[in-house]
Amino acid sequence: MDLYNKIQETAAFIQEKITTNPKVGIILGSGLGGLVDIIQKETTIPYSDIPNFPLSTVKGHSGQMIFGKIGTCNVMLMAGRFHYYEGYSMEEVTFPVRIMKALGVETVILSNASGGTNPAFNIGDLMIIKDHINLCPEHPLRGPNDERLGTRFPDMSQAYDPELINMAKEISAQQGVGVRTGVYIGLQGPTFETPAEYRMLHTIGGDTVGMSTVAEVIVARHALMRVFAISVITDIGISDVPITITHEEVLEAANAAAPKMAALVAALVKKL
């Protein structure tokens, strides 16, 4: 079955289970489950029930699609995402974004944990992503283009919606939560970077680095959805002394910052 028909089949399965169609689609990163408690749940579907859906394999990712409301806004939330380093194809990594579009989503909100390459950043900082550098080894739109899904050569000049960025900055000021703005570099992982790599990533214009998000954003823009993305800085790669980084530390720092990120995203969703 080609991608278009897979999307139709999966969306039809989900459509039968939900009462209202989502306007906003949210993808949660590692350790960033805070929004799961804020959403008023209406329907929860385990990924394992969904036709054509891959299964999530990483610790800290539970693998559920949750439909419900944040305020009066209908949302769908992906608790658990697919990473290229797990062995999924780019088509699988970005399939949930295609499903969002098929179900009527207009705005996609993504979160992630990332490593700071900007020496001014601190562990636990939130960073609104204003742009990205794609250093992943494969492109999610490689191959024949299906015009029903989007144009062959999508524009990426304002991939991260400037209006949403401004709204989020205003909200964070009102909430008294400091937030950074910067450039996210997407790599495949699963190794964290070497000290020389962190330095290089900063030199080429990155403020943080991570192993997700970029492919999903590309597909969301291919599908002409608005994008907002936010990162928790869980470690700082730039240092005079070598610092070890573990997945446990990343999850711990993400968990600690999850409530402030959830509050910011919830307030943003309520304005959409």
Q: What is the distance between the alpha carbons of residues 54 and 48, in angstroms, rounded to a whole number?
A: 8
We find the least distance from the C-beta atom of residue 192 to ligand HPA, in angstroms, to be: 5
Asked if residue 255 binds ligand HPA (CB under 6 A), the reply is: no
Number of helices (H), then strands (E), in the chain = 7, 9
CA distances from 270 to 39, 75, 161, 230 (A): 11, 10, 17, 17
Q: 133 to 192, contacts with ligand HPA by CB under 6 A?
A: 189, 192
CB of 117 to ligand HPA, least distance (A): 8
* Interactions with ligand HPA, residue window 4-43 (CB under 6 A): none
Q: Does 245 engage in binding with ligand HPA (CB under 6 A)?
A: yes
Q: Indicate the residue type of 31.
A: G
> Any contact of residue 60 with ligand HPA (CB under 6 A)?
no
DSSP letter at 16 equals T
Is 154 or 189 the residue whose CB approaches ligand HPA more closely? 189
Q: How far is the CB of 163 from ligand HPA (least distance, A)?
A: 28
- Please tell me the distance from the alpha carbon of residue 169 to that of residue 146, in angstroms, as a whole number: 36
Q: Which segment (58-66, 112-120, 129-137, 257-265) binds ligand HPA by CB under 6 A? A: 112-120
Interaction between residue 211 and ligand HPA (CB under 6 A):
yes
Q: What is 202-235 written as a DSSP string?
A: HHTT-SEEESSSHHHHHHHHHTT-EEEEEEEEEE
CA distance 134 to 128: 17
Q: Are 70 and 264 in contact (CB under 8 A)?
A: no
Q: Which of 33, 115, 140, 206 binds ligand HPA (CB under 6 A)?
A: 115
Nearer to ligand HPA by C-beta: 95 or 121? Answer: 121
- Dist. CA 193–CA 189, nearest whole Å: 8
Q: CB 120 → ligand HPA: shortest distance, Å?
A: 16
Q: Which of 210, 219, 221, 261 contacts ligand HPA by CB under 6 A?
A: 210
* Secondary structure (H, E, C), 72-97: CEEEEEEECCCCHHHCCCHHHHHHHH
What residue number has its CB nearest to ligand HPA?
A: 115
**Binding residue for ligand HPA (CB under 6 A) from 209, 215, 217, 264?**
209
- Residues at the contact surface with ligand HPA, assessed by CB under 6 A: 113-115, 189, 192-193, 209-211, 234-235, 237, 245, 250
